[in-house]
A and B are shown apart, each in its own frame.
Chain A
Amino acid sequence: MPRIFAYIAHKGGVADDSAAELAAAAKKIDAAATLTAVVMGWGAELDSVCNALRGSYAEVWKIANESLVYPNAELVRKALVKVLPAGGVVLVAHEHFGIDLAPGLSIKLKAAFVSDVLEIEGVEDAQLKVVRQEFGGQVSAHVRCDISSGAVVTIRPGAFKPLESTPVSGSVNDKSADVGVLTASRRYLQTMVAESGDVDITKHNVLVSIGRGIQEKDNVAIAQELADAMGGALSCSRPVVDAKWLDKSRQVGSSGKTVKPKVYLACGISGAFQHLVGIKGNPFIVAINKNPKAPIFQVADVGIVDDLLEFLPELTNKIREMHGVSAK
C-alpha cells in the first residue's frame, strides 16, 4: 500500500473541518495506514495547527516559510513537490484551494488525479475504487484510478464522517529546511469580503429559495410574494445570480452564504452539492420541482412535483387567506 498524505488547510490557527474528513477518507483507502498530515504556514498559528493535528495523524509534517503566510497554491505546490516522496497518495479537500492546487500537483508528482470523490470503496490491484457525481449530482459514477505511480485525490467536503477512534499521539516533524526559497509567478494581493446586501438571508427562519426553474427575471416577483406572505426572505442558487436576477448576497451555497433557517423552500432548485452545503442546522426542506428525478428530492423532507409558476401563486394566496388578507 502506498503512503497516504493529507494536505491540511487552516485559518487563524485552526485546522479546517476537512482535516478529520481527510483522515476518515484515508482510512477507507487503507485501514492500517499510518497517516501523515502536511501543514504549511508561518509562526505561532502554524504551530497550534500542527499540535492539534497530533490527535488524528500519526505524523505531522510542518513546513514553516514566511512566503506561506497566505496559502498561494503555486508556492504550496512547489513546497509539496520538494518534500513528498514519489508514489504516495495525497488527499486534498475539494474546495477553492484544492481546485487551485491539486491538478497541477498531480502533473508535477507524475501521479494520477481524481477529483471531488465522495466515497471510497477500497483498493484492488493498485486500482483505487471511488464514487464521483456528474451532471450536478443527477447521476453517480464508479471510477477507478491507477495509483501504482501515486495519486492526488480531492475529497468532497462533508462526504466523509470524521472517525470516532481513539486519539493517536502523533509526532511533529519539521520539514522546513527541505523547502528552501519559494517564488511564484502568481502573487496574492488581498481578500475582498463579500458585501452584505439589503437582506441578510443568514438571519431568517424561513427562506423561499429559487433556482434555474424560475425561468426568467420577471418570475422572481412570484417567489418574493410568497416569501413576504410567509414572513421570510428570498434566497437563491447560483444560476439566478449568474443571470443577474438577484444579488450575490442572496446566494446559498459554497460560494455564497451558509444559512440556518427552520424552513427552506427549494423552488426549481436541482440540488447540486455546491448549493446543499450552504444549508445547515437541519431545516425542514420542501422541494418543489417539475423534474421528479431532481437530486433535491433525495435530501428534502417533503417533495412536490409541479409547475412553480402555477404552484407558488396558489400557495401564496392560501397563506394570505389564512392570515385574513383577501386573495388577489
Chain B
Amino acid sequence: MEILVCARRVPDTSENEITLNSAGNDIERDELVYSVNEPDNYAVEEALQIAARIGGNVTVVTVGGEDDEEILRREMAMGANHGVLITDEAFSGSDGLGIATILKAFVEKGNYDLILTGVQAEDGGAQVGGMLAAMLDYPFASLVNSIEVLEGRKLKISREIAGGDKEMNEIDLPCVLSIQTGINEPRYVGMRGIRAVASVPIPTYGASELAVDPRSVGGAAARVKRVDYFLPALGKGAEMLEGSREEVIDRLVGLVAAKGGLK
C-alpha cells in the first residue's frame, strides 16, 4: 500500500508558553521550540504500522520552508521511506483551501492508496484533510482512532465520537483519514536515528513542478485571513493563592473543605 502522510511543523505547546509579541500582532516566535504537530506524528506511526503489516511505502510531505525539513528527517528516522518538501514563495500565506489545493496537485503526481493527516494542527482548523478529500472525490473520515485493512480495497475504521464511543465505518480506498492522537504509541526517535538520515536528499516541489496556478494559492488568494492575535479574557479569572507553600496549602484546604471537598 502506498501511504502519504501530510505533516506540519508547529510551535510545541508542551515545550512553550505561547504569548504575544510586543507589537501584539503575532505570537512571540523568538526562542520557540518547534516540533512535528502531535497528531501528525501519530499519523506517521499508523502509516508505518500498516506498511509493516501488509507491505508498502510511507511518504511524508509538508508544505513550508527550509526550516520544515527537520520534521521530515524526524519522520524518516521513524521509518518513513520518503520525505518531500513542497516550497514556493507563491505558497506563503495560503489558507486551508490553498494548502489543500497544493497538496491535491502533489497527490495527483503519485499513486497513493491512503492519505493520512493529523486531526488538527495547534494553529489550524481541522480542515485540510476534509478539503483535500472533497477535491479529489475520495471518501473521508475524521477523528480516526483505529484502522484495519480489509480485502477488496477497503478499510474498517473507527472514529472517536462523543463520550469516548467509537463509530465503526467501512471506507473504500483510496481515501483520506484524519488521525486522532492515542491511536497508537509513536516510536521513540533518538539523535542517532536522525543522524542516520541527515544526508538523505529531500526532493522539493514548487508551483511550476506541481502545475499549481500561483494566483489560486498564497496570501492574495486566501479568503480566510488572521488579522491579529490577542490574549483571551474569559470570565473573571481565578483568585491566585500566593505566599509560602505552607500558607497556600492551609488556605486551599480551608476553601476546599468549605465546598464539601474533604471527606
* Chain A residues within CB distance 8 Å of chain B: 73-74, 77, 95-97, 99-100, 102-108, 112-116, 132-146, 149, 184-194, 205-206, 212, 230-232, 238-239, 241-242, 244, 248-249, 251, 254-258, 262-263, 265, 270, 284-287, 291, 293, 295, 297-306, 310-311, 314-315, 318-319, 322-323
Whether, in the assembled complex, B253 has its beta carbon less than 8 Å from a beta carbon of chain A, the answer is yes
Contacts of A112 in B (CB 8 A): 97, 223-224
Distance to closest chain A CB from B121 (angstroms): 9
- A74 and B140: CB pair below 8 A? yes
Chain B, interface residues (CB within 8 Å), range: 35 or more
Distance to closest chain A CB from B139 (angstroms): 4
Contacts of A138 in B (CB 8 A): 13, 17-19
B 1-31 contacts with A by CB, 8 A: 11, 13-14, 17-20, 27
Whether, in the assembled complex, B110 has its beta carbon less than 8 Å from a beta carbon of chain A, the answer is no
19 new A-B pairs (CB below 8 Å) besides A112-B223, A302-B241?
A: A100-B140, A100-B143, A103-B126, A104-B140, A136-B13, A139-B231, A140-B230, A143-B225, A145-B225, A187-B169, A187-B170, A192-B165, A230-B262, A238-B181, A302-B255, A304-B252, A310-B245, A314-B246, A319-B262
Contacts of B187 in A (CB 8 A): none
- A134 and B223: CB pair below 8 A? no
Contacts of A298 in B (CB 8 A): 232-235, 237-238
Please name 24 pairs of A and B residues whose Cβ atoms are closer than 8 Å in the assembled complex, sorted by A.
A96-B167, A99-B130, A100-B159, A103-B131, A104-B134, A114-B125, A134-B229, A135-B122, A138-B18, A139-B229, A143-B227, A145-B224, A145-B225, A185-B172, A189-B168, A191-B167, A255-B163, A255-B180, A263-B259, A263-B260, A263-B261, A285-B238, A298-B233, A306-B245
Other-chain residue from B17, B122, B246, B262 in contact with A322 (beta carbon distance below 8 A) = B262
Whether, in the assembled complex, B158 has its beta carbon less than 8 Å from a beta carbon of chain A, the answer is yes
Question: Please, which residue of chain B has its CB at the minimum distance from the CB of A187?
Answer: B170
Other-chain residue from B17, B223, B228, B234 in contact with A293 (beta carbon distance below 8 A) = B17
- A143 and B126: CB pair below 8 A? no
Contacts of A133 in B (CB 8 A): 232
Given A256-B163, A258-B163, verify A188-B169 contact (CB < 8 Å).
yes
Other-chain residue from A95, A139, A299 in contact with B20 (beta carbon distance below 8 A) = A139
Whether, in the assembled complex, B216 has its beta carbon less than 8 Å from a beta carbon of chain A, the answer is no
Whether, in the assembled complex, B263 has its beta carbon less than 8 Å from a beta carbon of chain A, the answer is yes
Bound Cα distance A302, B254 (Å): 12
Whether, in the assembled complex, B83 has its beta carbon less than 8 Å from a beta carbon of chain A, the answer is no
Question: Please, which residue of chain B has its CB at the minimum distance from the CB of A152?
Answer: B127
Bound Cα distance A281, B227 (Å): 36
Bound Cα distance A265, B95 (Å): 39
Question: Please, which residue of chain A has its CB at the minimum distance from the CB of B133?
Answer: A104
Question: Please, which residue of chain B has its CB at the minimum distance from the CB of A316?
Answer: B249
Bound Cα distance A189, B156 (Å): 9
A/B pair count, beta carbons within 8 Å: 267
Whether, in the assembled complex, B141 has its beta carbon less than 8 Å from a beta carbon of chain A, the answer is yes
Other-chain residue from A132, A188, A255, A257 in contact with B125 (beta carbon distance below 8 A) = A132
Whether, in the assembled complex, B240 has its beta carbon less than 8 Å from a beta carbon of chain A, the answer is yes
Distance to closest chain A CB from B178 (angstroms): 8
Bound Cα distance A46, B256 (Å): 46
- B238 and A303: CB pair below 8 A? yes
Contact with A along B125-162 (1 / 0, CB 8 A): 11111110111001111110000000000001011111
Bound Cα distance A254, B138 (Å): 28
Contacts of A284 in B (CB 8 A): 255-256, 259, 261
Bound Cα distance A141, B231 (Å): 8
Distance to closest chain B CB from A135 (angstroms): 4
Q: Is the interface of A mostly helix, strand, loop or mixed?
A: mixed
Bound Cα distance A243, B163 (Å): 19
- A186 and B139: CB pair below 8 A? yes
Given A103-B126, A295-B234, A304-B240, verify A135-B13 contact (CB < 8 Å).
yes
Question: Please, which residue of chain B has its CB at the minimum distance from the CB of A140?
Answer: B232
Contacts of A114 in B (CB 8 A): 125, 224
10 A-B pairs closest in CB distance: A103-B130, A231-B263, A263-B261, A303-B238, A104-B134, A194-B164, A107-B134, A115-B125, A242-B182, A300-B238
Contacts of B118 in A (CB 8 A): none
Bound Cα distance A193, B233 (Å): 37
Whether, in the assembled complex, B211 has its beta carbon less than 8 Å from a beta carbon of chain A, the answer is no
- B27 and A314: CB pair below 8 A? no
Distance to closest chain B CB from A182 (angstroms): 13
Other-chain residue from B159, B175, B238 in contact with A287 (beta carbon distance below 8 A) = B238
Contacts of B160 in A (CB 8 A): 96, 255
Contacts of A194 in B (CB 8 A): 163-166
Bound Cα distance A31, B215 (Å): 35
Other-chain residue from A77, A143, A248 in contact with B224 (beta carbon distance below 8 A) = A143
Contacts of A146 in B (CB 8 A): 223-224
Contacts of B66 in A (CB 8 A): none
Bound Cα distance A107, B27 (Å): 30
Contacts of A188 in B (CB 8 A): 167-169
- A145 and B223: CB pair below 8 A? yes
Whether, in the assembled complex, B239 has its beta carbon less than 8 Å from a beta carbon of chain A, the answer is yes
Bound Cα distance A108, B125 (Å): 18
